[in-house]
Amino acid sequence: MDQLALLFVLLLGAVVTVPLGDRLGLPAPVLMTLGGVVLALVPVVPNIDIPPEFILPLVLPPLLYASAQRTSWRQFAANVRPILLLAVALVFVTTAAVAAVAHAVVPGLPIAAAVALGALVAPPDPVAATAVAGALRLPRRMVSILEGEGLFNDVTAIVLYHVAIAAAVSGSFSWPAALGEFVLSAVVAVAVGLALGWAANRLMGLLGDATLQIGLTLLVPFVAYVVAEECQGSGVLAVLTTALFLAEYATDADDVLGRLAGHTFWEVVDMLVTGVAFGLIGLELHNVFGVARGREWEMTGWAAAVVAVVVGVRLLWLLPAGWLAKRLHSLRDYDEEIPLSWRESVVMWWAGMRGVASVALALAIPLRTADGAEFPGRDQMIFIAFAVIMSTLVVQGLTLPWLVRRLAVEADTDEEAAIARDLAIRAAKAAKRRLKEIEQAEDLPEDLVEVLHRRAYDVGARISPDMVDEERREAYEKRVERIRDVQRIQKEMMSAARHEVLAARSEPGADPEIVDRVLRHLDVRSLRSP
């Protein structure tokens, strides 16, 4: 088996583990990691051979861009305090604690390399945690915190990592210089991200076609990363800035098909890249154990010390930080998402699994320094990093469902239903306002006006049936039943039409392009309600 065949095996595994994880009640990332471990034990499976300089540019941009689609700049602004506490301050504290312990226990490990190790194991991975959260129905508030933390702690940790790696490669490290480089990198990245986001937004308007627009969004994160890195800025922060800008300003409410297609496309990209990355974690264990050959117990002791620091610091930080955030929230009454109890803080602590970002940063450690010497402590750093990743991902990932059930942390369905009801009412009112405007501007038949008023009312009722009273709900349910009958019959009619058109594709003299055009028209029509 060669490297290309192994890549396709990992891609297939990324697809298969999603339904398999649903059946087994296990997170797909954990299954992919365990699958990688199994593959690593097969003699015909080759060792992974990816140049370190290609790891970050290939893996991180699409993952960050896909994750940013699930949040917004306004959500970030509303939750700036929890993000600063969890995604910035905690990353700095974890990095410093790990660096101090690693520098003390690993013989000959320079302080710059120790800081790089601390930075690469500091950011928890939100993918596995949110995969578990979806299955366990954690409060939406907690899922939002985990997703926001995952985005911004990756950015913070990766910028720290780059500063530390540059110092280790050059052989000199200065805290003032490192802080100045950190700030400069962030400023350049934000500037590049905003400029590229504005340019991409304008270009999307010129392209028009949804296929071309989605193709552009695939290129944007890679361009943002490369341009920012070339300008001595943070590539990951540039990608995040661009993604938030486009999410805020490039959304057309009437572009239904483009939005559905774009959402589906990025879900596929996120699933495949994430699956491959977690599979690489398991596959790399073969190389990691080779590095430790002859020193297994000694390096395991170092790794155990770092794992204890990583897990312990998060708990010791989250409990008081959660209390402080709650205290400030009650005093200032900000609309922000924070853990509301010690139980939620404990679940968030145990959800701090390391994953994609950590493995990408570990594999991206340079082989040599600027003077041609071997990178100091690279083997030890990789071993410790993978020990942290496997310990937190497998142990915490498999026990998190038990902990959530034990602490009885679950979603507030009444609150979620209330939010959906409020949005449904707003949607129905907006539809009615527009209908009144059209009535005033056009002379519509009375029977048509009556139908349109009912449909405007149904806009909200379809989203949240609880918004209507009992009598109206019964009438609405009868209409829904009739609509379902119409949809069922229309579905069968459209299916027959599509089968006939597809059969014509195989007939002599048929033009595949014209057949596909007609089939696309039928597909689009099938998406519309009767």
Mind giving me the DSSP string for 502-529? Answer: HHHHTSTT--HHHHHHHHHHHHHHHHS-
Cα–Cα distance, 508 to 259 (Å, whole number)? 37
Q: Alpha helices of 25-139 — where are they, by DSSP H?
A: 28-40, 52-68, 73-78, 80-83, 90-105, 111-121, 126-136
pLDDT at 199: 93
Tokens 């998402």, residue? 337
> Which candidate, 380, 385, 367, 378, places its Cα nearest to that of 281?
385
Cα–Cα distance, 236 to 150 (Å, whole number)? 12
What tokens does 348 get? 């968030």
pLDDT at 459: 66
The full DSSP string for 394-433 is IIIHHHHHHHHHHHT----HHHHHHHHHHHHHHHHHHHHH
> Which candidate, 306, 347, 340, 369, places its Cα nearest to that of 97?
306
| Residue ranges in the chain whose pLDDT is less than 70 | 1, 25, 52, 70-79, 87, 126-136, 140-141, 173-174, 250-257, 286, 290-292, 322-323, 325-340, 411-417, 457-477, 479-480, 527-530
193 Cβ contact partners less than 8 Å away, ≥ 6 residues apart:
224, 228, 237, 238, 239, 240, 241, 242, 245
Measured at the alpha carbon of residue 99, what is the angle toward residues 93 and 102, in degrees to the nearest 5? 135
State how far the alpha carbon of 170 is from the alpha carbons of 72, 108, 123, in Å.
Answer: 38, 17, 25
Asked if 139 and 409 count as a contact pair (C-beta separation under 8 A), the reply is: yes
Asked if 266 and 65 count as a contact pair (C-beta separation under 8 A), the reply is: yes
pLDDT at 340: 58
Tokens 């308007």, residue? 205
Phi, psi of 332 (to 5 degrees): -100, -15
368 has which bridge partners?
Answer: 374
* Other Cβ atoms within 10 Å of 105 Cβ, number: 18
DSSP 25: T
pLDDT at 244: 85
Asked if 204 and 250 count as a contact pair (C-beta separation under 8 A), the reply is: yes
Cα Rg of the chain, angstroms:
26
Cα–Cα distance, 439 to 449 (Å, whole number)? 8
* Other Cβ atoms within 10 Å of 91 Cβ, number: 25
Answer yes or no: pTM beyond 0.85: no
Cα–Cα distance, 305 to 303 (Å, whole number)? 5
- Estimate to the nearest angstrom the gap between the alpha carbon of 249 and the chain centroid: 20
Cα–Cα distance, 169 to 448 (Å, whole number)? 74
Single-letter residue type at 9: V
